[in-house]
Amino acid sequence: MADFKTVEVSSDLLIIGAGFSACGAATEASYWAKKNGLKVVMVDKAATDRSGAVAMGLSAINQYVGVKDGENTVEDYVRYVRQDLMGVSREDLVYNIARHVDSTVHLFEKWGLKIWKDEAGKYVHEGRWQLMINGESYKIIIAEAAKNALADAGGELYERVFIVGPLMDGNRCVGAVGFSTRENQFYVFKAKAVIIGAGGAVHVFRPRSVGEGFGRSWYPPFNSGTSAYFTLQAGAEMTCQEVRFIPVRFKDGYGPVGAWFLLFQSRAISAVGGDYMVEHVDELENWAPYGLAKPIPANLRNYLGMMDVDAGLGPLYMETDEAIQKIANEYKDDPKAFKKKMKELESEAWEDFLDMTISQAILWAGLNVKPDEKHSEIAACEPYFIGSHSGASGAWVSGPEDLDTPYKWGYTNMTTAEGLFAVGDASGASSHKFSSGSHTEGRIAGKQAIKYILEKGKEPNVDMAKAEEMKKAILNPLDLFEQYKDEFTDPEVNTHYIMPRQFLHRLQKIMDEYAGGVTSAFKTSKALLERGLELMEYLREDSDKQAARSLHELTRAWENIQRMWIAESHIRTMLFREETRWPGYYFRADTPKMDNDNWLCFCNCRWNPDSGEWEMSKKDIWTMPGV
């Protein structure tokens, strides 16, 4: 076996990930841990300052309810999420986050985040729920608060440690194992409670950007499905694994469109100039009641655009020039004011990208795009798993104590595995949390996990023989390479192993062609899904044949395995749900209609660690009384 030192780290609470939700958890848990003499440890595969979805920054805070200004109520937000997710949301979780999210945003501002204000000192809204920010350093600000809180409570932060999977004592999660991405060290983290906040998953499906563009995607390429793998391996129940997210973005640079649609009130059109939201309005009746209410759900907005693409009317364009001209025209009688407004709009347009998707600005510059002169191409991206945005995949977690719901078996945000909490993209059916809501959910779970430790926490009973077994399996790709590398002249072509990149391409091909990826125009069917599952079996058989030359490739190999698991749960859940509910995310051609009588429910899945079998189930939707 490769020579790796085993490092043991003990704590009361282990937080996995140091993204938005985990930073929220660390900030809040540290406060309560300090009061109670408990130790918190946070661990991330990258560096907290620039890790996860917000690494490059963001240009807006997408969840702010604005209760203090009387702008909206928490119940309004519950209605909004119900509508956007075609009726399928855990309203208790959405409500719980929404009632606390404003205080999180106020903390962000206190910590130094610049939120745009108008002349009257009020926040500038991008849309009803969204606030404009100067967000290039958003992640650094939130990371600083988490690191300070941890340090103040005597906690520890481990960076560049890749977490592979959970340590279990029966149904109780007692820690995690992983390895350093920089040194030959294997880590065994022991804890009385664990919070998983390691984000969603990308590159499960074949991306649009391949070849020299490989690695470009809307979602951060380093979130590989660790959260879902972790909770699945722990035997926890999952929900909405079929609800992937497909954002429409500026093509190839993946720049955001929210500011264009909401702030600049722009239209999107087909190549022949039609506004697909107007031309296909009749189609929305097929998706009533959701298709007929406002705002039209994100998947339906996608779908109407896809109808044009399917009809050969692509490319689609964002009418940036028209939108800018329309706003500036209000000043047309005053040439000086007009010029000033145009300059201001132009710089806002560029800042939107420079705050969060710098490569889109570079691409625009490279293609000589002037947004005020010419429209710009948009397209639907490949599918991603991001339960905190407009997707919904993640673990099935216990609801808040004070609401009378059928979803309570423990502490808020605890999964069905004892002592294991899930937050952000890791927790399901509570979409539209975004950055602020994910941090809020982290705070909620951080406080609850400390409560759990104080009331029910036990010394973690970690079987070190089992941990050693896991070490051997985790380092296997390095051993395999060493053992067989000299048998062939090309180290990447070998009958004994495959390289992580080759394995990834195989996974992506299966998902793309059978599970409704880009080249299948996001369509699938029972027959395709069943064939996809068959091929996944072969892929799984080969998953322990991956070889790695370095720590870098070892990371890639384990990211692949995590992706393979989220992929399988996705296929199985799409197969289970015999209807089409979210056209624009995926379309089941053999069950093309929404079927509220049978499928207005959650579809849950669980991998049973004892039998190795998958269990599928339906769960009722609880609707908030009076909302």
The set of catalytic residues is 62, 126, 218, 249, 352, 389, 435
Phi-psi domain of 429 (left: phi exceeds 0; alpha: psi -120 through 50; beta: other): left
Closest CA to 14 of 35, 38, 46, 42: 42
Q: How far is the CB of 219 from ligand AMP (least distance, A)?
A: 11
Q: How far apart are CA 53 and CA 245, in angstroms?
A: 14
The one of ligand SFD, ligand AMP, none whose footprint includes residue 46, by CB under 5 to 8 A per kind, is ligand SFD
Which span sits near ligand AMP by CB under 6 A: 66-74, 115-123, 255-263, 485-493?
Answer: 255-263
Within 355-395, where are the H helices?
A: 358-366
Q: Does 257 bind ligand AMP (CB under 6 A)?
A: yes
Q: How far is the CB of 478 from ligand AMP (least distance, A)?
A: 39
Which helix (DSSP H) or strand (DSSP E) does residue 442 occupy?
helix 434-456
| Binders of ligand AMP in range 57-86 (CB under 6 A) | 62
Output 376 or 390, the one with its CB closest to ligand AMP. Answer: 390
In the complex, residue closest to ligand SFD by CB:
19
Q: Does 293 bind ligand AMP (CB under 6 A)?
A: no
Q: Does 388 bind ligand SFD (CB under 6 A)?
A: yes
Q: How far is the CB of 129 from ligand AMP (least distance, A)?
A: 6
Q: Does 256 bind ligand AMP (CB under 6 A)?
A: yes
The C-alpha R_g of the chain, in whole angstroms, comes to 24
Contact status, residue 67 vs residue 74, Cβ threshold 8 Å: yes
| 59, HSE (Cβ side, Cα atoms, 13 Å) | 22
What are 83's two structure tokens?
């509508």
The one of ligand AMP, ligand SFD, none whose footprint includes residue 430, by CB under 5 to 8 A per kind, is none
Contact status, residue 190 vs residue 415, Cβ threshold 8 Å: no
Q: Does 445 bind ligand SFD (CB under 6 A)?
A: no
Q: Does 130 bind ligand AMP (CB under 6 A)?
A: yes
Q: Does 51 bind ligand SFD (CB under 6 A)?
A: yes
Output 253 or 532, the one with its CB closest to ligand SFD. Answer: 253
What are 100's two structure tokens?
């606390």
CA max distance for the chain? 79
The one of ligand AMP, ligand SFD, none whose footprint includes residue 425, by CB under 5 to 8 A per kind, is ligand SFD
Output 216 or 526, the one with its CB closest to ligand SFD. Answer: 216
* Secondary structure in 3-state letters for 229-286: HHHHHCCCCEECCCCCECCEEECCCCCCCHHHHHHCCCCEECCCCCCHHHHCHHHHHH
Closest CA to 166 of 422, 540, 478: 422
Output 4 or 138, the one with its CB closest to ligand AMP. Answer: 138
Q: Does 198 bind ligand SFD (CB under 6 A)?
A: yes
Q: Which of 262, 328, 378, 467 binds ligand AMP (CB under 6 A)?
A: 262
Output 53 or 298, the one with its CB closest to ligand AMP. Answer: 298
Contact status, residue 393 vs residue 385, Cβ threshold 8 Å: yes
**Number of residues lying near ligand SFD (CB under 6 A):** 42
114-115 and 131-134: which strand pairing?
antiparallel
Q: Which of 11, 15, 17, 107 binds ligand SFD (CB under 6 A)?
A: 17
The one of ligand SFD, ligand AMP, none whose footprint includes residue 53, by CB under 5 to 8 A per kind, is ligand SFD
- One-character DSSP codes across 458-493: ------HHHHHHHHHHHHHHHHHHHHHGGGSSSTT-
Output 15 or 316, the one with its CB closest to ligand SFD. Answer: 15
Q: Does 219 bind ligand SFD (CB under 6 A)?
A: yes
Q: Which of 54, 131, 298, 594 binds ligand AMP (CB under 6 A)?
A: 298
Q: Does 18 bind ligand SFD (CB under 6 A)?
A: yes
Which span sits near ligand AMP by CB under 6 A: 111-119, 178-186, 258-266, 544-552?
Answer: 258-266
Q: Which of 10, 49, 50, 127 binds ligand AMP (CB under 6 A)?
A: 127
Q: How far is the CB of 387 from ligand AMP (least distance, A)?
A: 14
Q: Which of 203, 301, 577, 581 binds ligand AMP (CB under 6 A)?
A: 301
Which span sits near ligand SFD by CB under 6 A: 217-225, 360-368, 520-528, 563-571?
Answer: 217-225
Q: Return the C-alpha torsion angle 325, 326, 327, 332, nearest 10.
A: 70
* Secondary structure in 3-state letters for 276-333: HHHHCHHHHHHHCCHHHCCCCCHHHHHHHHHHHHHCCCCCEEECHHHHHHHHHHHHCC
The one of ligand AMP, ligand SFD, none whose footprint includes residue 262, by CB under 5 to 8 A per kind, is ligand AMP
* Secondary structure in 3-state letters for 187-225: EEEECCEEEECCCCECCCCCCCCCHHHCCCCCCCCCCEC
Output 258 or 315, the one with its CB closest to ligand SFD. Answer: 258
CB burial of residue 314 (10 Å; 0-12, 13-18, 19+): middle
Q: Does 77 bind ligand SFD (CB under 6 A)?
A: no
Q: Which of 160, 286, 295, 359 binds ligand AMP (CB under 6 A)?
A: 295
Which span sits near ligand SFD by CB under 6 A: 65-73, 191-199, 283-291, 615-623?
Answer: 191-199
Phi-psi domain of 225 (left: phi exceeds 0; alpha: psi -120 through 50; beta: other): left
Output 341 or 389, the one with its CB closest to ligand SFD. Answer: 389
Q: Does 62 bind ligand SFD (CB under 6 A)?
A: yes
Q: How far is the CB of 80 from ligand AMP (least distance, A)?
A: 9
What's the helix, strand, coil split of the chain in %, to 5? 45, 15, 40
Q: If DSSP codes are grouped into helix, strand and coil, which group holds residue 613?
A: coil
Angle 311-315-316 from CA coordinates, rounded to 5°: 95
Identify any residues that bridge with 173 across adjacent strands, giving them in sequence order: 168
In the complex, residue closest to ligand AMP by CB:
258
Angle 358-364-367 from CA coordinates, rounded to 5°: 140
Looking at 381-521, which runs of residues are DSSP E strands? 394-395, 420-422
The one of ligand AMP, ligand SFD, none whose footprint includes residue 328, by CB under 5 to 8 A per kind, is none
What are 209's two structure tokens?
């950007």
**What is the torsional sign of CA 122, 128, 130, 132?**
negative
What string marks each residue from 477 to 506 as x (binds ligand SFD by CB under 6 A) or -? ------------------------------
Q: Does 260 bind ligand SFD (CB under 6 A)?
A: no
Q: Which of 2, 4, 13, 20 binds ligand SFD (CB under 6 A)?
A: 20
80-106: buried (b, 16+ CB within 10 Å) or exposed (e) per residue? bbbbbbbbbbbbbbbbbbbbbbbebbe
Q: Is the peptide bond before 247 cis (omega within 30 degrees of 0)?
A: no
Q: How far is the CB of 259 from ligand AMP (least distance, A)?
A: 7
Give 537's contacts (C-beta < 8 A, 6+ positions apart). none
**Residues near ligand AMP, by CB under 6 A:** 62, 127, 130, 247, 256-258, 261-262, 295, 298, 301, 390
**Residues near ligand SFD, by CB under 6 A:** 16-22, 43-46, 51-54, 58-62, 162-163, 197-199, 218-220, 222-223, 226, 256, 258, 388-389, 424-425, 433-436, 438
